[in-house]
Structure 1
């Protein structure tokens, strides 16, 4: 979860206002985590000034469980690669429950060498309610080329 800090103590070049609070900001890895959440939970065409911003994860909410996972993985990776150049994605993990879908993206800061498991970050994103219940299932996919690390799980 993102932990906000007061705006008077900004020390990083990259920062943004903390969502859900007044006068507080997030910076560093918390800034990246919040950015990834915003990217994955913003439907494309919902921002009139940037119609291509966001992802199409929401389009797959009611797809059959056995067909949706590769589409969710693709959408998450494409959106992050396009809109967050500070990170590289290592894995996207999809968990499908009857009520919602959880997308977990494992990532690392671009240019950072993987040294130990603690260098990965995770962000979770959970979907809104599904209208068609599906059996629980999990799937993990790895991107090609090894240029993806970090860990993010979000609900969309």
Structure 2
């Protein structure tokens, strides 16, 4: 069992005891999403490692960010606030974000290592960056930095 899955189980118990319905609902939903992803990957007995679990968590955060923008443009601030609270809970499961200086240094190092010079090389650069950043940087931020250098 991955450490994230074990932590989710403990957090679910804590949320139940504290009668924290927002956290409880988010954790239950996340456990469900992780189980679906594990089944998709390896069948009924499949399990995800922590890196794969981080991908699922980021996907759940992205869904909620999209909902926030939809609710705000639709004049539903109370629903947007709920989604933001859920994002805050989900972000607790992500590793600490990379500093901007570390991120720039990593991008420069990977570009130099791969010998990338044009946007055609972006795929191999992004693949290596995603592995090396270990979930500590958003792919959109990584992509933006790579585009600045290869553009």
| TM category, shorter | under 0.3
- TM-score, normalised to structure 1, is 0.26
Q: Greater CA radius of gyration, 1 or 2?
A: 2
